[in-house]
Amino acid sequence: MDYRDTVFIAVAENLSFSKAANDLNISQPAVTKHIKELEIKFNTNLFERKGNKIFLTRKGKIVYNSYKQIEQQYRELEFEISQLNHDISGDFIIGASSTISQYLIPKTIASFHKRYPKVNIHLINGNSFDMEQLLLNNKVDIALVENHSSQSGIRYKSFLDDELILVTGGNSIYSKRKTISKNDLLQFPIVLREKGSGTLEVIKEALLKQNLDFEDLNVPIHLGSTESIKNFLLDFDGLAIVSEQAVKTELYLKTLVEIKVTGVHIPRQFRIAYKMGHKSRQVELFENFLLGYNL
């Protein structure tokens, strides 16, 4: 890609000339010059200013989306050529949901790096919905998600079974309970993940199957990560529903205690998500490695 194209992408993603200049380690006047040259080339304004902020124009959005596709195709080209030369290298961008990025994928990436040391891996994390949006917008090559729902334009493949379990702090007033009833689940205070979380979506669907209304839960607080929930439980007389994969150490150390809910079981699957259509060599290589890795 032309360097002006790279500058344009940086400005479009930062919506700031100064931040783009900082990311690219060039001066702000240089950024302005490149954007003006590009606007002359396309004979149109790519950005519009509203107050102190800039936004992509409608035509600017078209250019940005096209450039992101071209950028991805360049990465694929470099990767395929490196394979033909028996020297696999290039950039690979993974988007992963919070649970997967924190508790599962780091070991896999480390092992993948040992096997393919010249592949530069970039890991982006957030909730499942956000990762799917990045995938659709060509900002990641592959997404690893934990939700049940499926979005148009994305194909999914399961790579690991998981279960959401009910836990409480080892010193909470509920820690001596081995089981509770469905009615108890609705009455006891419970802390959950934020809106958009794959975990939250799975919980809603599981409760619905048990004829329980998610809105009837006693939820005094939502937190943005499983780690924050685990720390919160250490000084909270209440419950949480979290991934079993995320609390193995705490259950072993008994800082958290699992409580069964009579008649309620919440299984789920971690899934690989990739865009419909052509599957790049990078995606195929990492997918095969992940499916063969002993998680």
pLDDT in tens, 176-209: 999 999 999 999 999 998 887 888 889 999 999 9
Amino acid 101: pLDDT = 94
What does the pLDDT average to over 39-44? 94
Give the Cα separation of 197 and 28 in Å (integer): 38
Amino acid 281: pLDDT = 82
pTM of the model: 0.74
Beta strands in 108-233 (DSSP E): 119-126, 142-145, 154-169, 179-180, 189-193, 218-223
List own/partner pairs for 126-133 with CB under 8 A and 24 or more apart.
126/95, 126/97, 126/98, 127/97, 127/98, 127/193, 127/194, 127/196, 127/197, 127/198, 128/97, 128/196, 128/197, 128/198, 128/201, 129/196, 129/198, 130/95, 130/196, 131/95, 131/96, 131/97, 131/273, 132/273
Burial 4-18 (b: 16+ CB within 10 A, else e): bbebbbbbbeeebbe
What does the pLDDT average to over 205-233? 93
Confidence of residue 25 (pLDDT cuts 50, 70, 90): very high
Q: Coil, helix or strand for 95?
A: strand
The mean-pLDDT minimum among 29-38, 82-91, 108-117, 128-137 falls in 82-91
Residue 79, pLDDT above cutoff 80: no
Residue 108, pLDDT above cutoff 90: yes
Amino acid 199: pLDDT = 87
Amino acid 89: pLDDT = 87
Amino acid 80: pLDDT = 81
Amino acid 67: pLDDT = 92
Give the Cα separation of 108 and 87 in Å (integer): 21
* pLDDT greater at residue 86 or residue 240: 240
Amino acid 1: pLDDT = 78
At the second CATH level, the architecture of 162-268 is 3-Layer(aba) Sandwich (3.40)
- Tens-place pLDDT, residues 152-182: 999 999 999 999 999 999 999 999 999 999 9
Mean pLDDT value across the chain: 92
**1-64 has which CATH code?**
1.10.10.10
- Tens-place pLDDT, residues 227-285: 999 999 999 999 999 999 999 999 999 999 999 999 999 999 999 999 988 778 888 89
Confidence of residue 78 (pLDDT cuts 50, 70, 90): confident
Contacts of 185 (CB under 8 A, 6+ apart): 166, 212, 217, 239, 261, 264
Q: Which of 186, 191, 192 is nearest to 172 (CA)?
A: 191
Confidence of residue 120 (pLDDT cuts 50, 70, 90): very high
What does the pLDDT average to over 117-134? 93
Amino acid 56: pLDDT = 95
Residue ranges of domains in the chain: 1-64, 162-268
